[in-house]
Structure 1
C-alpha cells in the first residue's frame, strides 16, 4: 500500500478515532478530566481528517482552512488535558489563540495566501504543543514524572519543534505548498509525522493516567479510611528507611499512643462521635508533628508515631504538647464521666539494623506501664540497645 497523502489521511483519521474511543472508555472508568479532554482532541482530529478526505473527493462541505483550524482546536484540547493532569490553571491570555485563528480566516487572498495560513497555523500548533510539554516539567518535586508522563512530554516537545520547523519552511522562497491537492513535500512529511504523533501521544497519555491511577490505588491501600493517616501496612513499609537513619549520634523515637476512656465516648455519644474524636486527634498529629515524622493508626484508638533525629527531651516535650492539646479538645467536644486523655509509651532507638517489631514491643511495654501508673501520662522506656544481631 503506497503511503500517498490520501492513504495517510485515512490512517490518521482511523488512528485518531480509535484513540478517541479508547481514551473515552478510560475516562468512563476513572472520570479523570484530562482523559476526556484528550479524547475530545483526538475526536476533533478524526472529524477534521474526514472533512479533508471528503474535500479531496469533491465533496466540499467547508472551506479548506476549517479542517486545518480544527487541528489547532485539537491541540488546544491536548494542552487543556495536560493542564488538568498537572493541576495547572492556564492564563486567560491563551484564549487569544482563538482570536488569532479567527483573524487568519479574514486574511485576503493572494499568491502568498497558502503560505501565510500554513505558517501561522503551524506556529500556533507549535506554541500550544511546546507549552503542553513544558507544563509536564517537574517543579520543585511537586510533580514526579512517571515513564508515561516523561514520554508524553518528549513527544509533545518534539511535535512542537516539528511544527515550528514547518512554520519556518513557509518562509523559504519558492517552497511548493498546495493543500487543496495534497501536493508538496511539507504536506506529505506533515501527514507522516501526524500518524506517528497520534500513535505516540495516545500511548503516552494512556500510560500517564494509568500510572497516576495505580499510584492512587496504592495510596488508598496504605491509608486509614477514617483518619487518612498511614495504616498498619504502610507503617511496616515506610518504617525501615526511617529506622536505617538511626545512629548513636542521631537517635530516633517510637511512640505508641492509646486514647484513655475512648469507649465512653462511643457508649454515651455514639460511634459517629467516636469517629469524630479520632479524626480530631489525627488532625492534631498532622499539625503538631515535625517534618519527616511518620504517623499511623494501628487500629481502634491506637496510634504510632515514628520520629527521626530527635532526643528524649524533645520527645517528652512533644508528648506533653499532644496530651494537653488533645485533653482540651476532648473536653470541648464530649462530656464523659472520666476524662478522655492520652496514654503514651515511648522508646528511643539508635540501632539501624533493628526491626520495627522490636521497638513496637518496647513502646508497648512502656504504654502498659503508663496505664498502670494512672493513665494520661507518657512513659519512656529505659534506654537500651537493640537485640543481638
Structure 2
C-alpha cells in the first residue's frame, strides 16, 4: 500500500480513533481525569483527519481551516491533560490560541493562505506540546519510564512542528494545502501517524505507573493514621537494622496508650480514633531523620531509631509522653490518666529479626505497664522513672 496522503490520513483516522477509545476505556478503570482530556484530543484528531479528506472534493474551508483547527485544539487538550496530571493550573493566556487561529479567516488570497496557515498551525501545535513536555520534568520523585518517554515524545513532536515553520518562510518553497503539495506536508503526515502511536502508549503507561504507585502506598499505610503498617515496616526495617554497630547502636521503641479503653467507653470510638490520629501526628513531628515509625495495630505504635544513644531515647520518649498526656488530658476527661507506656529494645549489631526485636520491646513495655504506666523501660532496667519523677 502506497504511503500517499489519503492513505496516511486514513491511517491517522483509524489510529487516533483507537487511541481515543483506549484512553476512554482506561479511564473507566483508573478514573484519572487526564485520560478524558487525552481521549478527547485523539477524538478530535480523528475527526479533523476525516475532514481533511474533504480537500480533494474542494471543501477547503472545512478540509483545511477547520480540520487544522481541530488539530490545534487536540494538542491544547493534551496540554490540559498533562497539567491536570501534574496538578498545575494553566493561565488564561492559553485560550488565546483559538483567537489566533480564528484570525486566519481574515487572510485574503489563496497563494499566501497555505503558507500562513501552515506557519501558524505549526506554531500553535508546537507551543502547547512543548509546554506539556516541560510540565513532565521530574521534580521530587521520578514519574516512571513511561512519563519520561512521554516527555521526550512530546518534546520531539514539538520540535518537529517548530521545524515546520521554516519552509513557509523560504521563498519559492512549494506548499499547497489543498492538494497536499510539498515535501514538508508529506513528511508531516508520516510523523503524525508515528506520534499518535507513541503518545497514546506513553500516556497510558504514565497513568498506569501512577496508579500502581498509589496502590503500593495504600497497601503500605495504615488507613486511619496514614503511618506505615506492619507490613511496610518489615519491608523497610532490614536496611536500618543492618547498619547497627557498637559505634551506632539502634533502638526499637514500642509505644502503647495507657487506659485507651476508657476513651472509647466514655467518649466513643470516634474519639478513640482521633486520639490515635493525634499520636500518629506527634510521632511524625518528633521522628528523627533516617528513623522509621509504624502503627502495629490497635493502640500500639513502634519507632525504629538508628544511632540511638541513651540520651536520645530518653529525650524522644519524654517529649512524646508529655505532649500526648497534655493533649489527652485537655480533650478527654477520664477517671484515670490517658498516657503512654514505652518499652525499648536496643541493639548494637544487626538483630536476628524484626520480630525478635519487637518481642524484646514487648517485654520492656510490660515492665512499664506493671511499674505504674507512663514511663519508659528497657527490659528490666528503667531508662526513665515515673512521670512525676521525670518532670
Normalization by structure 1: what TM-score? 0.92
Rate the CA distance shift 1:61–1:113 in 2: closer, same or farther, 3 A: closer
Matches within 5 A, 1:114-263: 114-139=114-139, 142-263=140-261
Report if aligned partners of 2:146, 2:203 keep a CA contact under 8 Å in 1.
yes
- Is 1:302 the counterpart of 2:309? The answer is no
Report if aligned partners of 1:312, 1:348 keep a CA contact under 8 Å in 2.
no
- Is 1:362 the counterpart of 2:356? The answer is no
Instruction: Give me the whole-angstrom Cα distance separating, in 2, the residues matched to 1:153 and 1:270.
Output: 51
Matches within 5 A, 1:8-27: 8-27=8-27
1:287-345 per-position Cα deviation (integer Å, ceiling 9, x unaligned): 22223332111111111111223422112111111111111111122222111110001
Rate the CA distance shift 1:143–1:87 in 2: closer, same or farther, 3 A: farther
Report if aligned partners of 2:55, 2:179 keep a CA contact under 8 Å in 1.
no
1:203-239 per-position Cα deviation (integer Å, ceiling 9, x unaligned): 0000110111111111111111111111111110111
Report how far residue 21 of structure 1 moved: 1.0
Rate the CA distance shift 1:284–1:181 in 2: closer, same or farther, 3 A: same
- Is 1:288 the counterpart of 2:286? The answer is yes
Rate the CA distance shift 1:327–1:32 in 2: closer, same or farther, 3 A: same
Q: Which runs of 4+ in 1 moved over 6 A?
A: none
Instruction: Give me the whole-angstrom Cα distance separating, in 1, the residues matched to 2:170 and 2:296.
Output: 70
1:254-284 per-position Cα deviation (integer Å, ceiling 9, x unaligned): 1110111111112222222211211121122
Report if aligned partners of 1:149, 1:204 keep a CA contact under 8 Å in 2.
yes
Give unpaired runs (5+ residues) of structure 2.
Answer: 382-391
1:178-216 per-position Cα deviation (integer Å, ceiling 9, x unaligned): 111122211111011101100111100001101111111
Report how far residue 356 of structure 1 moved: 1.7
**Which shows bigger deviation, 357-366 or 185-194?**
357-366
Normalization by structure 2: what TM-score? 0.92
Report if aligned partners of 1:347, 1:382 keep a CA contact under 8 Å in 2.
no
- Is 1:82 the counterpart of 2:78? The answer is no
Give unpaired runs (5+ residues) of structure 1.
Answer: 384-389
Structure 2 partner of 1:386: none
Tell me the secondary structure at the aligned position of residue 164 of structure 2: helix
Report how far residue 110 of structure 1 moved: 5.2
Tell me the secondary structure at the aligned position of residue 170 of structure 1: helix
Structure 2 partner of 1:387: none
Instruction: Give me the whole-angstrom Cα distance separating, in 2, the residues matched to 1:154 and 1:352.
Output: 44
RMSD, matched Cα: 1.9
